[in-house]
Structure 1
Amino acid sequence: MKPANVLILPGWEGSGEKHWQSLWERRHGYRRVEQHDWMHPLRGDWIARLEDVLLGCDEPAVLVAHSLGCILVAAWASVSRNPQRVKGALLVAPADTEREEVGGALRGWSPIPLDTLPFPAALVASHDDPHCGIERARLLATAWGSRFIDHGDSGHINAESGLGSWPEGHLLLQDLIND
């Protein structure tokens, strides 16, 4: 698979320079799906942007989603007529956009689609993720038909979690690419 067909889907506010998604992008040549507004994400706009990028890929892509990017994958899959454009998805630390404290910031991202994804997926979650409880993450994985991977106590599985380039996660991605 060409690196440009491995699509990085950051969450709300994007992924900073030390985030494993950014490190993978630089190290392996993966392509970030740039959104028009990382600070005020509009569900429809993000879905349309993902659709555009997928239609431009010359082979089915593998999605690498973090946080709100995971919800984007489920939302896109629930409305797209092009699910064959995705070979698989690595879903890391989904954000629970239905939590009360999220309120107006991510208003348009609720409810979270709970349809089975039409492609293989692996969902990685942490016990102490402040943005999604482990049982809620397990429920999302089950609803989406994803393999569930318990990553222990790793916070939001981001730069603050101290994972660096997260080689363990890259092995999970390789499994999806090679299937």
Structure 2
Amino acid sequence: MNPLRWSFRALMLGGAVLCFALIGFAIYSQLQWGLEPCPLCIFQRLAFAALGVVMLVAGLHAPRGSGARATYGLLAFAAAAVGVGIAGRHVWLQMHPPGFVTCGAPFAFMRETLDTPTLIKRVLTGSGDCGTIDWTFLGLSMPAWSLLWFVLLGAVALYAGLRSGRRGRSRN
């Protein structure tokens, strides 16, 4: 059962299920373990949701034409690239000394008091407790795991969207 031989539909639907499972784990860790998400964590969830929706639509549609498949693959890759940027910034903030990242207002307060462009700028500059590492698994923090999953899912999306067809085989 080689994943490189999976159909476009199987790769995209599998990626979508994985995205939604990762969001579910993040919500579970918040509600059951008390790990409050920082603003960058919330943006990573949004990036996983966007990636999952693109992959779900691509998997359900499963177009036969290579142009449509490439479009879906590139859209999913773009969503994954945004996630890589956010998670990469988060990991970078976590690698600095504790005093490097200033603690700002909670995300809910910023959402109510700031306009959208200012909110995005404030979040991406590391306000909040984005430098805190509350959870690790196999030595990696949750943002590091997110970064890894964004890279892998982006590669899967590109592979599924840009690979050439095989003769005599259906690619659904």
**TM-score category (smaller protein):** under 0.3
Normalized per residue, which structure has more strand? 1
User: Which structure's relative contact order is higher, taking Cα pairs within 8 Å and 6+ residues apart?
Assistant: 2
TM-score (norm 2): 0.25
Normalized per residue, which structure has more helix? 2
TM-score (norm 1): 0.24
